[in-house]
Amino acid sequence: MSERAGVQFYRKEIELTGAVRLGLDLLFLCTVFFQARGALLGEIFPFGPAAVVAVAGRRPRLLWPAVAIATTGAWFGNPGTIYTSAFLYLLLGVIFSIYPVLRKAGVLTQGTVAPAAVILVKGLSLTFSQPSFYGWVQIIFEALLSWGLSCAFLHAAVTSRHEERYLGVGLFLLGVLLGFQGLHLFDLSLQGTISRYIILLAALAGGPGAGAAAGAAVGFLPSLAQIVPPALAGLLAFAGLIAGSLKTMGKVGVVGGFLLAHLLLANYFLGQDNVLTALKEGVVVALALMMTPSTLINNIERYFAPPAIVPAGSSGYGRHEALKTALKGMARSLKFTGFAESPEVTVRQVAGATCRGCPAGKVCWELEGMQMLTLLQDLLQKGDHGTLTSADIPEWLASRCGRTRELLAALTHEAVKLKGLAAENALADWLANTFDTLASLITTGVEEGEAEEQRLKLVVGTATIPRYQADVCGDTFMSAKLEAEKQLLVLADGMGAGREAAEMSATTVELVRDLLAAGFPPDKTLQALNMILLLRATREAFTTCDVALINCCTGAAEFYKLGACPTFILRDGTVKTCGSPSLPAGILEEIRIEPVYEELQEGDLLVMVSDGVLEAHREINEKEKWLVKALQRAGEGRPQEIADRLLKQARALANGRPRDDMAIIVARIERIGV
């Protein structure tokens, strides 16, 4: 069961002008050129077909330019087989042009086109030239690799799981780097230079672990292209480790650590003849890193550093402390009106980047997580009015934290960047101060009572995707434990799309979680949420809210909806919908809340979706029917697999161009111990 108490964090929205989009298309086609040129052991070329299939499936308007570019890359990579390669890429282009339905098919179906074309074209070529057992083994091996790479590339473009996205992007970069094999500029190897630049970026963004991992990965590249000793991997891994260890000193520290490690070990690993060349490459990439914009490095750093996760039901986090946190959260929501991001989202990102690798991190974020979260949000609010100093750090944290300077600098930077607008509504300002005062008057108490025996658990899967040509998903979801026996699922959809919608929905799920954890009844929680959204909005803004509360002792479930889609329950092949008509939060002062009660059983599948999923079907009468049919075919699959499959089908119904953000929560009720 997922016990994440955090929200689905989002990335900054990127405004894509026509010129920027054209530049990205050209850059992507350049990568196809090097993919087609890249070879394993000098004679296996699986990356080119996989890249063309990925273009056909995800960016079909670039299909024929990609075919031409891949053919050119094959000619530069292996001129002896240019006719076979050209016919192979031409066949792939013709197949996807004649059968456009393939563009809407699943990843496995699309990926199978690559190995089929490789076996057909290269098999016929081998049959008419010099048939041999080794030749057929080579063709089959190349076909299998092209199939795996095609699936990885296609899946990385739509998956909501970071691990799968990292794998796909990593394999894609591997093919690009292999395409630079043998290319030189002023006696410098382009492959070696670019590889070292990637190591420095990883070390600066992710620290010693990321630097060492990047060094080990790119160090094995030459041994993939030809049979050579992989000794370079050890050198680059050590250099990345040393460079990442000096991350706190910025670019100068990372570059200095990398060059120092290079100088110490290059003579031992590479020999005297290659030391000078390796150091030249190191100097070139050092200069390139110094000229790299800080914006790019910050984005990569956030990509490497996921936010700290704090369990909502942590031991010792009692009802009184939860109530205090909820009041402070409501106060912050009103005081931070106009900020570009939710304060909780911001401090989690700061903590993820600053506290990574700290020996005291386990104590701070696992034992005192809620206390840390509250303190950092208070410091962020204080930083909005001036620079933070060491005097702002309480003694209990200053006594063990060795990174207070970096932490204060990061919070001050975020506070200035997310400069808040003063609350225009005097009532909102008064309520914020009142909530703060009430929170300060509450002392932590000891709760008594014997908890019931928990016999059920929830296994949760989630999937999300922004609308077409948007980089920020406006839908936010959460799965969290409120008490020993209560499980919360909440899904919010902010008005519109982009950063403002994401900020509004993130605030919604945070407030719902805090108020319910503090003991507020669900109806009072949603009424308070509605009023706070009305007060904090500087213009018309609203959000839907879909709440499910499941008692894991009895199976009793409560559903509360504010403008949200129905909830779907699959049991023994039959799908039941649960919903109630209501308006979103933040529109009217008085809202009607009508809960729906259900008794869940072991094996039931619970599905919550945002309206972008249902509206993927253009027919009004089919909006719910298609999802019901899809669930009936789901069978006994894992919740994460079902969530990914539903999202993939919704995206296909929208012709690969979702008109609205999409988010899905799938939860299966299981018996504990099974």
Chunked in runs of 10, what are the mean pLDDT values of the chain (674 residues)? 36 47 81 86 85 87 90 82 88 89 79 91 86 87 90 77 72 83 78 82 79 76 57 72 80 82 65 65 82 72 47 47 70 58 70 74 70 79 71 79 81 67 50 64 52 80 86 86 85 82 85 84 85 68 89 91 92 88 81 88 92 82 84 84 90 87 92 73
Q: Are residues 84 and 126 in the same domain?
A: yes
Q: Are residues 365 and 460 in the same domain?
A: no
Q: How far apart are CA 674 and CA 664, in angstroms?
A: 25
Q: What is the DSSP letter of 363?
A: I
Closest CA to 336 of 298, 390, 370, 383: 383
Q: Which of 179, 202, 222 is the last residue of a domain?
A: 179
Strands 456-465 and 662-671: antiparallel
In Å, what is the CA distance from 540 to each residue of 496, 544, 565, 586? Answer: 11, 14, 22, 8
Q: Are residues 409 and 465 in the same domain?
A: no
Q: Which two tokens stand for residue 126?
A: 């081998």
Q: Which of 396, 417, 441 is the last residue of a domain?
A: 441
Is residue 196 situated within a structural domain? Answer: no
Is residue 148 situated within a structural domain? Answer: yes
Q: How far apart are CA 465 and CA 449, in angstroms?
A: 43
Q: Which two tokens stand for residue 613?
A: 């999923």
Q: Are residues 434 and 532 in the same domain?
A: no
Q: Which two tokens stand for residue 74?
A: 């094959």
Q: What is the DSSP letter of 670?
A: E
Q: Which two tokens stand for residue 4?
A: 């994440």
Amino acid at 533: L
Is residue 187 situated within a structural domain? Answer: no
Quick count: other Cβ atoms within 10 Å of Cβ 17? 8
Q: How far apart are CA 319 and CA 523, in angstroms?
A: 18
Is residue 65 situated within a structural domain? Answer: yes
Q: Are residues 39 and 130 in the same domain?
A: yes
Q: What pLDDT does 535 receive? A: 73
Amino acid at 206: G
Is residue 299 situated within a structural domain? Answer: no
User: 545 has which bridge partners?
Assistant: 492, 562
Residues 195, 196, 200, 202, CA torsion sign? positive
Q: Which of 129, 158, 179 is the last residue of a domain?
A: 179
Confirm if 208 and 241 have CB atoms less than 8 A apart: yes
DSSP, collapsed to helix, strand or coil, labels residue 78 as: coil
Q: What pLDDT does 334 receive? A: 64
Q: What pLDDT does 566 receive? A: 92
Q: What pLDDT does 3 receive? A: 37
Q: What is the DSSP string of 590-608?
A: S-----EEEE--TT-EEEE
Q: Are residues 578 and 616 in the same domain?
A: yes
Confirm if 4 and 309 have CB atoms less than 8 A apart: yes
Q: What pLDDT does 589 receive? A: 74
Q: What are the phi and psi torsion angles at 591 (to 5°)?
A: -125, 150
Confirm if 466 and 497 have CB atoms less than 8 A apart: yes
Q: Are residues 389 and 427 in the same domain?
A: yes
Report the predicted TM-score, pTM, of the whole model to 2 decimal places: 0.50
Q: Are residues 518 and 487 in the same domain?
A: yes
DSSP, collapsed to helix, strand or coil, labels residue 658 as: coil
Q: Are residues 57 and 23 in the same domain?
A: yes
Q: How far apart are CA 373 and CA 422, in angstroms?
A: 23
Is residue 422 situated within a structural domain? Answer: yes
Q: How far apart are CA 420 and CA 78, in angstroms?
A: 58
Which single residue is written with the structure tokens 């049979």?
227
Q: Which residues, other chains included, contact 175 with Cβ-Cβ below 8 Å and sequence gap of 6+?
A: 34, 35, 38, 47, 50, 51, 149
Lateral strand order in the sheet of 486-494: 475-481, 486-494, 543-551, 556-562, 596-599
Q: How far apart are CA 316 and CA 158, in angstroms?
A: 40
Q: What pLDDT does 469 receive? A: 76
Burial class (CB in 10 A: 0-12, 13-18, 19+), 630: middle
Q: Which two tokens stand for residue 296?
A: 């790019």
Q: How many separate domains does the chain show?
A: 3
SS3 annotation, 49-65: HHHHHHHHHHCHHHHHH
Is residue 114 situated within a structural domain? Answer: yes
Q: What pLDDT does 94 receive? A: 92
Which single residue is written with the structure tokens 């001050």?
412
Is residue 4 situated within a structural domain? Answer: yes
Q: What pLDDT does 674 receive? A: 56
Q: Are residues 660 and 596 in the same domain?
A: yes
Q: How far apart are CA 481 and CA 460, in angstroms?
A: 12
DSSP, collapsed to helix, strand or coil, labels residue 6 as: coil
125: Cα within 13 Å, side-chain hemisphere: 18
* Residue 148: domain span: 1-179
Q: Are residues 471 and 391 in the same domain?
A: no
Q: Which two tokens stand for residue 341?
A: 């991001």
DSSP H or E segment with residue 387:
none
DSSP H or E segment with residue 231:
helix 231-245
Greatest Cα pair distance, the chain, in angstroms, is: 87
* CATH code of the domain in which 649 resides: 3.60.40.10
DSSP, collapsed to helix, strand or coil, labels residue 198 as: helix
Q: How far apart are CA 494 and CA 13, in angstroms?
A: 15
Q: How far apart are CA 549 and CA 556, in angstroms?
A: 8
Q: What are the phi and psi torsion angles at 482 (to 5°)?
A: -90, -45
Q: Are residues 327 and 430 in the same domain?
A: yes
Q: How far apart are CA 230 and CA 215, in angstroms?
A: 12
Q: What is the DSSP letter of 624?
A: T
Q: What are the phi and psi torsion angles at 585 (to 5°)?
A: -75, 145
